[in-house]
Amino acid sequence: MSGNANNVDQIRELIFGQQIKEFEKRFDELSRAIETTNMSLEKKIDEAIARIEKENARSFEALEQKIEDQSESALKARNKLKELIDSTDESLQSQLKSLKNDMLAKLKIQKENSDDTAAKLQEQIAQLRDEVQQLVESEFAKLSDDKVSRSSMAEMLVNVAMQLQGSNLQTLIPEEEPQAESEK
């Protein structure tokens, strides 16, 4: 059988030999073309990957720089705000302290004035009491042992009241007629 197989190969070679050689040649050419194309594609892919990696690296660097710049800006803004808050707080504390001191000074002055006014009022009350007592005593001294009429007692008390007010009965009421005095 091996002879038959050889014969078949020879027949095949005769019939298809030239075509097979052409197919093999074309196949080799296609194989080389595919390999060349494959190598070219791999090279282009590698170049594209390298470009993308470079662009990514640049983008990441730019992004990192932006993040760093934003962080610095935020930190500066935070520090400025903190300084502003601190200075405002100090100013408010100073103003509150000044206001407190002013209020305490005014309260002290008002207390002193109040104490002075109270003392003056006490003195005036004591003085008025003494005057009333003196008036009452002087009016009692004027009275005789005789019986005092109601009208003269009323007149005496009205005089005392008028003197306390600082006015005069003669200016308010016209003088009594002599007949009224004789009736006493």
Whether residue 26 is contained in a domain is answered as yes
Whether residue 183 is contained in a domain is answered as no
Whether residue 173 is contained in a domain is answered as no
Whether residue 43 is contained in a domain is answered as yes
Whether residue 131 is contained in a domain is answered as no
List pLDDT tens digits, range 84-120. 999 998 899 999 999 999 999 999 999 888 888 888 8
Residue indicated by tokens 């720089």: 65
Q: Tell me what pLDDT residue 174 has.
A: 54
pTM value surpassing 0.75: no
Range of the domain at 6: 2-116
Whether residue 91 is contained in a domain is answered as yes
Q: How many domains is the chain partitioned into structurally?
A: 1
Contact 174, 180 (CB under 8 A): no
List pLDDT tens digits, range 142-171. 765 455 677 777 777 788 788 777 776 555
Contacting residues for 149 by C-beta, under 8 A, at least 6 apart: 184
Whether residue 61 is contained in a domain is answered as yes
Whether residue 103 is contained in a domain is answered as yes
Q: How far apart are CA 74 and CA 115, in angstroms?
A: 60
